[in-house]
Structure 1
Amino acid sequence: MKLLVLFFGLFFPDLHPFHSSVTEMSYNVKDQSWEISIRLFQDDLEQTLSSATGKKFRMIPGDEASEKGLESYVRKHFGFRAGKQFSTPYRWLGTEQQQDAIWVYLEIPTTADLGGSYLENSLFLDEFDDQTNLVSWSFQGEKKSYLFRKSQEVQQLSR
């Protein structure tokens, strides 16, 4: 199996065997804010936004049109719920490219922990049947992880 993965990695470098995003959320006590970083595969991002907009999308960090397109998509697919009300109470800080990934940076200024809130993470779930979105958060030394996939797009955050 490892040989097969190596073969595909050498001869088809743009392909990867799974579709996944990873989100890290940590509470900064000093700044009283949640700091959020989301790692997305650039090829998955471009394919998804091309499908969503009906035109070829190319992510270029720092490019205003690319950033606005990505921000609009993220706000639609990553957010919080209090009861049944969906909201995205975060500040968009920007993006950064690292090899084959795009990092998205967000911030939620608040003195409250997010326990009891609902998090929606449906990033790329409309594009890839095997998409998984891992979210890990830490609050004052406590850590939790959640796995989002089709039919599990919204989960309650607990402490």
Structure 2
Amino acid sequence: MKLLVLFFSLLFPELHPFHSSVTEMSYNAKEQSWEISIRLFHDDLEQTLSSNLGKKYRMIPGDVASEKVLDAYLRKHFRFHAGKQITTPYRWLGTEQQQEAIWVYIEIPTSSDLAGSYLENSLFLDEFEDQTNLVSWSFQGTKKSYLFRKSQEVQQLSR
């Protein structure tokens, strides 16, 4: 019986009932930078990148080649707009596996609070109809949250 359960779990891996990412942005005044962590479901990430690449993709946290592919995807789907100019001023710090999730760490060195800028978060929106991307922003004791989904991929950041 255990073998049968194992076989079906490998053949039909359990799918989570929703598709979402969670991003936490905190301003570090001492370092004058935004510290950003993005939590992505591992299976959603691999499915999306496989679709984008047109071949099977396997994410290996810490692997330089894997992280390069993810960084390129992120730079297309997680961007900051200052006026009409699109910028992606962040530094890639790396990834970490944590149970079913991949944590992505990036940083934006700036003395600005980014208020008035626009954030685009279209992660996985092309792949999953029900995808939502939650962004929580913390700056000097002020906290804000934004919910991104299809037709609401870009939002203005405010204090």
Q: TM over 0.5: same fold?
A: yes
Q: Which amino acid aligns with 1:111?
A: S
Counterparts of 2:64 and 2:32 in 1: how far apart (Å)?
Answer: 29
**Structure-2 residue corresponding to 1:137:** 137
Report the Cα offset of residue 13 of structure 1.
Answer: 5.5
**Structure-2 residue corresponding to 1:33:** 33
**Structure-1 residue corresponding to 2:93:** 93
Residues 10-21 of structure 1: matches in 2 within 5 Å? 14-21=14-21
Counterparts of 2:148 and 2:85 in 1: how far apart (Å)?
Answer: 19
Q: How many residues align?
A: 149
**Structure-2 residue corresponding to 1:123:** 123
Counterparts of 1:67 and 1:149 in 2: how far apart (Å)?
Answer: 25
Report the Cα offset of residue 100 of structure 1.
Answer: 0.5
CA deviation profile, 1:113-132 (whole Å, cap 9, x unmatched): 01000000000001001000
Secondary structure of the residue aligned to 2:51 is: helix
Gaps of 5+ in 2: 1-8
Counterparts of 1:150 and 1:84 in 2: how far apart (Å)?
Answer: 21
Counterparts of 1:94 and 1:105 in 2: how far apart (Å)?
Answer: 5
Secondary structure of the residue aligned to 1:35 is: strand
CA deviation profile, 1:5-32 (whole Å, cap 9, x unmatched): xxxxxx6663100000000000001111
CA deviation profile, 1:37-88 (whole Å, cap 9, x unmatched): 0000000000000000001000001112111100000011001001122111
Q: Which amino acid aligns with 1:122?
A: S
**Structure-1 residue corresponding to 2:4:** none
Counterparts of 2:153 and 2:22 in 1: how far apart (Å)?
Answer: 14
| 1:104 maps onto 2:115 in alignment | no
**Structure-2 residue corresponding to 1:8:** none
Instruction: Judge conservation of contact 1:14–1:43 (CA < 8 Å) in 2.
Output: no
- Deviating runs (4+, > 2 A) in structure 1? 11-14
Q: Which amino acid aligns with 1:53?
A: L
Residues 60-75 of structure 1: matches in 2 within 5 Å? 60-75=60-75
Q: Which amino acid aligns with 1:92?
A: W
Secondary structure of the residue aligned to 1:56 is: coil
RMSD value over aligned CA atoms?
A: 1.0
Identity of counterpart residues, as a percentage?
A: 84
Normalization by structure 1: what TM-score? Answer: 0.91
Gaps of 5+ in 1: 1-10
